[in-house]
């Protein structure tokens, strides 16, 4: 069983990251901490193999490079055997390199962090890479959610709407299958169900 810890003070972001980990990692236990003392307590009580940290925690100056790196270093020292990923609203390549020197395996900017991106980062780390993902904001592709769709249907539509030009639907189905553990045929079924519902409502977005 994977054991992951998310250290993030913003409730919605922490819960979103925890949900992403549970979706991307099979058989995964995920804990969350809002502060550095809480994170240290959890790390003393349990052994985690993955820790995701936002360095801008309460009690520290989020604009101070020294404070931010102190948070990262403290957590890495508390769990030296875990894989550490820094997830931040900052977009600082120098900070990313400094975190790497401290032992972080990845550095990910929250801006433009799409569903499945964290899973891709974990796959890169498994291959021995140390990924740095800075902001990837695409204002031309708005987020849309429909109340009549199930979470799976919502997810496949979001992935389909974000696909790059030239990406085939089959590739999106395979990507969702790899992310969630279902097979591509099931992903296609969710897409067709969602499309039929939106067609019935007259709310099918362009490109679907």
Count Cβ neighbours within 10 Å for each residue of 152-183 and write b for 16 or more, e otherwise: bbbbbbbbbbeeeeeeeeeebbebbbbbbebe
Of residues 103, 95, 21, 8, the one with CA closest to residue 54? 8
Section 148-174 average pLDDT: 85
More confident residue, 143 or 9: 9
Reported pTM? 0.70
Section 134-146 average pLDDT: 61
Lowest-pLDDT range of 4-8, 42-46, 136-140, 151-155: 136-140
Q: How does pLDDT run across 17-41, given as a tens digit for each residue?
A: 998 888 778 788 999 999 999 999 9
More confident residue, 90 or 32: 32
Q: How does pLDDT run across 39-88, given as a tens digit for each residue?
A: 999 999 999 999 999 999 999 998 899 999 999 999 999 999 999 999 99
C-alpha pair distances (Å), 37 with each of 71, 75, 108: 10, 10, 23
Residue 124 reports pLDDT greater than 80:
yes
Domain positions in the chain are 2-133, 151-201
Cα of 191 vs its chain's centroid, Å: 22
Residue 206 reports pLDDT greater than 80:
no
Question: Yes or no: is domain 2-133 CATH 3.40.50.2300?
Answer: yes
User: What pLDDT, on a 0 to 100 scale, did the predictor assign at position 137?
Assistant: 52
Residue 183 reports pLDDT greater than 70:
yes
Q: What is the 3-state secondary structure (H, E, C) of the chain?
A: CEEEEEECCCHHHHHHHHHHHHHHCCCEEEEEECCHHHHHHHHHHCCCCEEEECCCCCCCCCCCHHHHHHHHHHHHHHCCCCEEEEEECCCCHHHHHHHHHHCCCEEEECCCCCCCHHHHHHHHHHCCCCCEECCCCCCCCCCCCCCCCCHHHHHHHHHHHHCCCCCCHHHHHHHHHHHHCCCHHHHHHHHHHHHHHHHHHCCCCCCC
Q: How much is the mean pLDDT over the chain?
A: 87
Confidence of residue 139 (pLDDT cuts 50, 70, 90): very low
User: What pLDDT, on a 0 to 100 scale, did the predictor assign at position 68?
Assistant: 96
Section 118-129 average pLDDT: 85
Residue 138 reports pLDDT greater than 60:
no
More confident residue, 15 or 165: 15
Structure tokens at 138: 């695409």
Confidence of residue 158 (pLDDT cuts 50, 70, 90): confident
């Amino acid at each position: 069983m994977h054991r992951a810890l998310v250290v993030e003070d913003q409730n919605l972001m922490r819960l979103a990251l925890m949900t992403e980990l549970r979706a991307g990692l099979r058989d995964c236990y995920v804990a969350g901490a809002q502060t550095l003392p809480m994170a240290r307590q959890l790390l003393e009580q349990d052994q985690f193999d993955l820790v995701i940290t936002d360095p801008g925690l309460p009690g520290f100056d989020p604009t101070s490079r020294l404070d931010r790196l102190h948070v990262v270093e403290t957590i890495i020292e508390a769990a030296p055997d875990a894989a550490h990923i820094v997830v931040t609203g900052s977009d600082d390549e120098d900070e990313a390199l400094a975190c790497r020197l401290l032992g972080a395996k990845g550095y990910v900017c929250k801006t433009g962090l799409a569903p499945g991106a964290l899973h891709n980062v974990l796959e890169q780390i498994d291959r021995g890479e140390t990924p740095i993902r800075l902001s990837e904001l695409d204002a031309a592709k708005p987020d849309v959610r429909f109340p009549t769709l199930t979470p799976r249907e919502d997810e496949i539509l979001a992935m389909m709407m974000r696909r790059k030009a030239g990406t085939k639907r089959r590739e999106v189905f395979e990507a969702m299958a790899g992310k969630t553990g279902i097979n591509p045929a099931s992903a296609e079924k969710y897409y067709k169900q969602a499309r039929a519902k939106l067609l019935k409502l007259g709310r099918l977005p362009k490109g679907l």
